[in-house]
Homo-oligomer: A and B are copies of this chain.
């Protein structure tokens, strides 16, 4: 997704959940994006308003990776079904992505610098 802040997410002590979304675009990002950039930014804003949201990290080069962090599986499920998010997912499948994977994972340990 586009529009993510250039900062690492400040997540709480594990356990919590990570949704790892990886994707290949249907076209080069330098071309017309068919509303992709605006929708990505809107989804990041909306996600941040959901109950149980803990943060997001996003980058795109040859492929795109967006990792969003959540308190529990219920929060992930509720966000997946959010009406605006569901519409974005549909456009993603139909227009923006040639392939994508969603991996739902439980963060057991975190460290860093």
| A interface residues (Cβ-Cβ under 8 A, vs B) | 4-9, 11, 14, 18, 20, 22-24, 57-65, 67, 93, 97, 99-113
Contact status of A99 and B60, CB under 8 A, knowing A20-B18, A106-B106: no
Smallest beta-carbon distance A77→chain B, Å: 11
By Cβ-Cβ distance, the 7 closest A-B pairs, closest first, are A6-B62, A105-B105, A101-B112, A59-B59, A104-B109, A105-B107, A65-B65
Q: Across the interface, do B67 and A20 meet the contact criterion of CB distance under 8 Å?
A: yes
Neighbour of A107 across the interface among B14, B60, B104, CB < 8 A: B104
Neighbour of A62 across the interface among B4, B9, B63, CB < 8 A: B4
B-chain residues with CB within 8 Å of residue A101 when the two chains form the complex:
8-9, 11, 110-112
